[in-house]
Amino acid sequence: MKKLFGLLLSVLIIYVIYFDLTVGTLPTSAPQHVDAQVEDITKEKNNKPKTDIPAFEAKVKPGDTVISIVENELDKSLPVSITKLIEDFKKLNPGKAPEKIQIGSTYVFPDYSKK
Mind giving me the DSSP string for the chain? Answer: -HHHHHHHHHHHHHHHHHHHHHT-SS--PPP--HHHHHHHHHHHHH-----SS-EEEEE--TT--HHHHHHHHHTS--SS-HHHHHHHHHHHSTT--GGGPPTT-EEEEE--TT-
In this predicted structure, the answer to whether residue 114 has a pLDDT above a threshold of 80 is no
pLDDT at position 16 is 86
- pLDDT tens digits, 70-100: 999 999 888 999 999 999 999 999 999 999 9
Segment 63-76 mean pLDDT = 92
- pLDDT tens digits, 14-60: 998 888 877 776 666 655 555 555 555 555 555 555 678 888 999 99
pLDDT at position 20 is 80
pLDDT at position 9 is 93
Q: Which residue has the higher pLDDT, 23 or 63?
A: 63
pLDDT at position 115 is 64
**Domain definitions of the chain by residue range:** 52-110
The domain made up of 52-110 has a fold known as Membrane-bound Lytic Murein Transglycosylase D; Chain A (3.10.350)
